[in-house]
Amino acid sequence: MARHFQCTACGKCCYGQLPLTIKDAFANAERFPLCFVWTPLRQGSKDYPMVASLGTTIKLADRKELAVLIVPTAYIPSELPCPALLENNLCGIHAEKPARCKTMPFYPYRDEQYQAELLIPRKSWECDTSEVAPIVFQDKRVVFRDDFDTERQDLEEQVPLLRRYAEFTLKYSPMIVDSLAKASMSQKAGQVVTSLSSFLTATKYSDTKQLAQRQLPVLNAFAEKTVGHKPHVDFHKKYTDWAKEMAYLASRP
């Protein structure tokens, strides 16, 4: 069945967490407060094979296995807009916006045949899905597919680096397995969040100092923005802790 979709640039999907590729995260280190979000998936889910191939798998004590997405993320509370969103709801970095934003609402972490499920706008989103809008999905295939293919390719290319990070993290912080197992039981998509500094250290990233210098002011700005807001207490604590880590990395010789 043909599915129609057109973005009307209402800006409503430009709030909250924004998943990124590593390439886009690092290119926007002076713009987004960055971290890594780990989302576990239990065996049996239809997304399991794709999540296992673009993320990693971990064994649990009961011999079961989890597939885990490890996603570089602009970590923003759901009520707050993306820092690049303009007052007129347009994107301030339209020409160079992240692959995730170009591919919206498609999501290459999911098998292509299931992408039609993502064409149902969330409450309050003003996407046009009427028959006047262009056909964007047909015969289980994305029609205008350049952005989709580019994002999928970026996700595939970063897998070895993410797995190196996962291996390091699971070795030195084995308690994360319990957190992921617990998150996988949650009704809502459970998450475990790790810091950008843990990734830079684990992968021995070559430009750590420069990246930390670009990221530090963003974390300080978000810590300031969320201070004293009850719903943002956890975010504020994370920004503050991560800023200390970034300050250390930024000041190293």
Nearer of residues 107 and 168 to ligand SF4, judged by Cβ: 107
Nearer of residues 17 and 179 to ligand SF4, judged by Cβ: 17
Distance CA 6, CA 250 (A): 43
| 196 φ, ψ (degrees, to nearest 5) | -60, -40
| Tokens representing residue 132 in the block | 């006047």
Report helix, strand or coil for 91. Answer: strand
Residue 116 CB, nearest distance to ligand SF4 (Å)? 15
Closest CA to 223 of 212, 231, 232, 214: 232
Nearer of residues 52 and 133 to ligand SF4, judged by Cβ: 133
Which residue matches tokens 């004293």?
Answer: 228
Nearer of residues 48 and 109 to ligand SF4, judged by Cβ: 109
Residue 135 CB, nearest distance to ligand SF4 (Å)? 16
Which residue matches tokens 């070795």?
Answer: 171
Nearer of residues 14 and 180 to ligand SF4, judged by Cβ: 14
Distance CA 155, CA 134 (A): 27
- CB of 152 within 8 A of CB of 100? no
Residue 104 CB, nearest distance to ligand SF4 (Å)? 5
Residue 124 CB, nearest distance to ligand SF4 (Å)? 8
Nearer of residues 78 and 206 to ligand SF4, judged by Cβ: 78
Beta bridge partners of 34: 74
Residue 27 CB, nearest distance to ligand SF4 (Å)? 11
Three-state SS string across 1-25, please? CCEECECCCCCCCCECCEECCHHHH
Which residues contact ligand SF4 by CB under 6 A?
7-14, 18, 82, 84-85, 91, 93, 97-98, 101, 104-105, 121, 125-127
- CB of 148 within 8 A of CB of 101? no
Nearer of residues 60 and 118 to ligand SF4, judged by Cβ: 118
Distance CA 170, CA 121 (A): 37
Residue 42 CB, nearest distance to ligand SF4 (Å)? 29
Residue 105 CB, nearest distance to ligand SF4 (Å)? 6
- CB of 8 within 8 A of CB of 126? yes
